[in-house]
Structure 1
Amino acid sequence: MKYLIYISTASKIMVEDDLKEILNISQQNNKKNNLTGMLLYGEGSFVQLLEGDADQLDETYNTILTDERHKNVFKLDEGDIEARFFPDWTMGFKVISGQDMSEFEGYADTASVKQWDGKGYHPVLEILKNFADINNL
């Protein structure tokens, strides 16, 4: 099993209906493909963690890369896991503040990526898990 985290920029400002559509489609596809994860949106940016079978996850990520609803897709981290972080979520979702989003965007800076020593899980994963706990997601 594998996980993957990426950040991207929305191609346009998303309104509630846009986000509902993304969530509904993601939940359907993830259920069909046995993927779980979390999607956050704030101030025109997305952060997503997906987890599941490595081949299925790679295929899904390649589809995500071609989705015209966002651009500047930057993979923050990926790796092997023994158990899912979000096993009950076909796709957890939350709209977050610009301040919350800035925590994630800092890790898309190449200097920040270079500072991480590669030991343990990526700091963004810890932020996502803490965010889910704090917000009772």
Structure 2
Amino acid sequence: MKYLVYISTAYRLLNQDELLDILAVSRKNNQRNNLTGMLLYGEGTFIQVLEGDADVLTKTYETIIADQRHKNIIKMAEGDIDTPNFPHWSMGFKSASAKELQELGGFTDPKSLGKNWIAAETSSILGMMKTFADANRMSD
């Protein structure tokens, strides 16, 4: 099993209805493809972790890259996992403010680190997202 984490910038700020549409399609596709994960959206920025079969994950990421609703897509981390971190979520979701994210342990605002922020440890990235999920008791 593989995981992948990416960050991207929305071409424009999205409203709640647009975010819910993305979530509904993502959940349907992820259930069909046996993928799990979580999507965070805050102030025009997406961060997503996906987990599943390597080939399916690669095809899904290619689809994500082609999506015209966002730009500046950066793969932050990828690798092998024995068990999924988000096993019960076809796509956990939360729209969060910068203030909410700053209150999490393990979160660093990428803007404060300049161009070297991608060098963050993978465990910190996944740890931050798992902490966010636990703190918000997100559900699928």
Q: Same fold (TM over 0.5)?
A: yes
Query: In structure 2, what is the Cα distance between the partners aligned to 1:89 and 1:43?
Result: 23
Report whether the alignment pairs 1:45 with 2:45: yes
Q: Give the residue type in structure 1 aligned to 2:17.
A: D
Query: In structure 2, what is the Cα distance between the partners aligned to 1:61 and 1:122?
Result: 21
Runs of 4+ in 1 over 4 A off after TM superposition: none
Gaps of 5+ in 2: none
- Report how far residue 136 of structure 1 moved: 1.4
Offset from partner CA, 1:74-98 (integer Å, 9 cap, x none): 1110000000000110000001012
Query: In structure 1, what is the Cα distance between the partners aligned to 2:96 and 2:114?
Result: 20
The partner residue of 2:117 within 91, 112, 121 is 112
Gaps of 5+ in 1: none
In the alignment, what sits opposite 1:80?
Answer: 80
Secondary structure, counterpart of 2:82 in structure 1:
coil
Identity among equivalent pairs (%): 49
In the alignment, what sits opposite 2:90?
Answer: 90
Q: Give the residue type in structure 2 aligned to 1:12.
A: R
In the alignment, what sits opposite 1:34?
Answer: 34
Query: In structure 2, what is the Cα distance between the partners aligned to 1:26 and 1:123?
Result: 25
TM-score, structure 2 length as denominator? 0.87
Instruction: Note if contact 1:10-1:45 (Cα within 8 Å) is conserved in structure 2.
Output: yes
Instruction: Note if contact 1:7-1:76 (Cα within 8 Å) is conserved in structure 2.
Output: yes
In the alignment, what sits opposite 1:69?
Answer: 69
Shift in CA distance, 55/104, structure 1 to aligned 2, threshold 3 Å: farther
In the alignment, what sits opposite 1:55?
Answer: 55
Instruction: Note if contact 1:77-1:122 (Cα within 8 Å) is conserved in structure 2.
Output: no
Shift in CA distance, 109/45, structure 1 to aligned 2, threshold 3 Å: same
Secondary structure, counterpart of 1:122 in structure 2:
helix
Equivalenced residues, count: 133
Query: In structure 1, what is the Cα distance between the partners aligned to 2:114 and 2:58?
Result: 23
In the alignment, what sits opposite 2:128?
Answer: 127
TM-score, structure 1 length as denominator? 0.89
